[in-house]
Amino acid sequence: MHTPSSDASLSLPSPRQLARMQLGEVHRAAYPESPTLVARAHHESATPLKPSPLFFPSSSPDPFPPVRPQRRQRMTVEERAAKKEERLAALAQQQRWRNANRVRQRRLDTMQDLIVKVDADLMEPGGALEHCFAALREKITGDGATVEAVYSDLGSHLVQRAQFYTIAFARRIRSVYDPLQKLWAPLDEEQIQQEPTVLCVLKPDELFASISDGTLVPRIEACGKLQRIVVLVGIDAYLRKERLEQTREYTRIVRQRVHQSNSDARAEPPTQGTAAILDTTLLELQLLHSCHIMRFAESEVAEWLYSIACEVSIRPYRLLEKDKTAPSRVQRTFTGKSHLATYQAMLEQIPRCSAHAIRAITHAYPTLRALSDAYGKCRSYEEAALLLANLSFTTGNSSRNIGPQLSKRVHHSIQAQDPRANADGPSHVR
């Protein structure tokens, strides 16, 4: 008689399988034509029976161990709160970066960070801005800027040293521009930065008084190495009035001497002494002391000062637009529009890479992979850097090449390993 070598060689049904077989036989007897029972019988006949370890205990492991899903360990209340705070902090950081790098093209986007410091004596009765300061404050605060009154005894060192009625500017700084990443990095805390622009607002009587005693230039130079703008309020009307008074006085003297017996006496005509002295002084301020001179009537000074404040607020972003090494602003290309549009948008971010050069590059190398493979086939770094130098494009009636400088810049932008590296590469090609 043959004895089995192990318990695993015996294949007997378990009690559950026996009960299932008996129940299936009953159902097949009651419903011999049921398609469900026919399919189940076919499945059971095709599936081999598994040995039941209940009747045949063995030291060998079960070849079909039950698979139990692992239950995830529940987090405590503190862990859930910490994870939620971490997620909210990450979302807040992303929002801070988006706000710092948003496009600022309107004055409403930049005037909110501007602080205008006005000398309090300009608002008082008899000051240069006595009649127009209310309109100026309404215009500036309407755009979100802040107007602060600075008093001479408690004011800043700039007003005390200048000894003139001035208007200074400051800015709330929430981000700093990184020239390597070409991005605005948000700051942890808001900072106040003084702007290098100061307006010296003078009335005609104060101007001529300072010219006569020789204190005009020292007072303006006391502002320091800033962008100094001398605002003369009502100077043209003052000169016209003085000229009219001189003409009337000359006419009176002539008429008086005509009626006198000594008709040979001659009256001196009015001279241009005041206007000539003023022109010479202002020309000296412009050429020798780098001051900007602006003449405004009292009715239009508020509008002009508001325009100057708007220009000061948007100046940092205008300077970046004029910088040719800064990335150009392009229209956003959405994912899935086309591979060519995405490829062109990547090339547009390279400084000095114009639309004509982009078309020449994409025509020679239709995909970024093709351009990268072409760089990989070059035998040296210099050869790869000058790969695109001889590509030509047409602008109007003339034909030009991309040139070695732009070719090196494109090569370094695509093949560089350091994301913070300058777009011009290690040689700083200009």
Averaged over successive runs of 10 residues, the pLDDT of the chain (430 residues) comes to 47 64 59 58 56 52 68 82 90 86 77 89 83 87 87 48 74 86 84 89 86 82 79 87 84 79 54 75 85 87 88 86 56 62 85 85 92 91 91 81 89 79 50
Please compute, for residue 354, the number of CA atoms within 13 A of its CA located in the half-sphere on the CB side: 10
The whole-angstrom separation of Cα 111 and Cα 124 is 26
Distances (CA, A) of 83 to 78, 80, 126, 366, 394: 9, 5, 63, 46, 57
Percent of the chain with pLDDT over 70: 72
Q: pTM score > 0.85 for this model?
A: no
Distances (CA, A) of 176 to 184, 197, 327, 342: 5, 20, 16, 28
Encoded amino acid at 316, one letter: P
Q: Is residue 234 left, alpha or beta, with left meaning phi > 0 and alpha meaning psi from -120 to 50?
A: left
CATH 3.40.50.10130 fits 100-262+269-322, yes or no: yes
C-alpha closest to that of 199 among 108, 280, 299, 116: 116
CATH number for the domain formed by residue range(s) 339-415: 1.10.150.670
Q: Structural domain boundaries of the chain?
A: 20-48, 100-262+269-322, 339-415
